Every structure is written in C-alpha cells, then in structure tokens.
Amino acid sequence: MSTRLPGNWHPRAEVPPTGPVVLLDLDGVIADAEHRQRFLHQDEPDWTGFYAGVGADGVIAAGRALAGAVDGGLAVLILTGRVDDVSSATRAWLEENRIRWDMLICRPAQEDDEARHAVDYKRDEIAQLRRLGYEPALAADDNRKIVAMYEQEGIPTLYVPSGYYDNSNRYDGGV
C-alpha cells in the first residue's frame, strides 16, 4: 500500500493488504482489564492509573482463540480505545501473549478521552479504513453502544459481554 497510514495505526510487520478485515476490540475482548476498571469508577476517571496497568492485563482465552481462528487471508485489526501513548506497551503485550494481530489502531494521542465517546472515535476510524480500501467483514466488541454503531455501519458484529459496562454506576465511555 502506498498510502501513508495515520500515526495511530501500527502494523505488526507489513501494512495489511486492503480488502476484507476483522476488527477486534482489545480491553474486554482479548485483554482482561478488570484489575484496571477501578480507575474509571470514580467521580473523575483516572486515565493515567487506568493506562499504567496495561502490561499486567491477563488474556481472555476466547478472545485469543477468536483472533487466532480468523482465516489467514483476512487481516486482524485491533481497534482499541486505548490512547496511542500506550501503543508500545500494547504491542509488547500482544507479542508476549502470542495474540494474532496485523495492525493495532489506537485513539490518537492528542484526543481528550473525556471529550469524545469511543463510539465516535471508532466510527471515524471505520470511515478512514474504508477510504483506504479496507472493508470490515466482522467486528467484536464488549460495549453495546459500539456494537450498535457497527451494526448501523453494516458490519456483522459479535457482542462479547465483559461485564465492564453492565453496572449503571460504571464508566460507559468505552475503551
């Protein structure tokens, strides 16, 4: 691909070929971020504390299996609400835990996490993927609002119940 990728898109090795791709969320789908949720369940979410623990996440076995089961002809794109500031730690975690992935897409570092909902961020990333020739063939996410958005975008979607959004007292901005 000769098109320059956005700075918040991180190919594992080579830029994945355009065409059909699979979009997988990270926290709650592949990475067990339960130990970090407490940083979000406060009057003001503590994003620094939340992101500081990404390297200590466990692996959700079903998420790892899902990523690994994707046909080798389709690229696996991890579309996460994690800020780009933790992309290096996230890539290291993906490698250490032997997760299949072809490109990591993080929330741009300059974005204010509290100013823009994850639904809007992911919708914009999908539009950009499509402009560059990628077509999401399947998505998986643990946030019902994002699942609904994917479905509105015509993307078949798996809802993965992480429990992170099931309590009305919990942060629902999506990560």
Residue 135 has pLDDT above 50, yes or no: yes
Look up the domain containing 87 and give its range: 9-159
Residue 164 lies in a domain: no
Count of the separate structural domains present in the chain:
1
Residue 52 has pLDDT above 60, yes or no: yes
Residue 167 lies in a domain: no
Q: Are 82 and 175 in contact (CB under 8 A)?
A: yes
pTM of the model: 0.87
d(Cα 145, Cα 149) in Å, to the nearest integer?
6
Residue 17 has pLDDT above 80, yes or no: yes
- CATH number, domain containing residue 89: 3.40.50.1000
Residue 61 has pLDDT above 80, yes or no: yes
Q: How far is CA 84 from CA 11, 33, 110, 115, in A?
A: 13, 17, 9, 16
Residue 141 lies in a domain: yes
Confidence (pLDDT) at 1 = 44
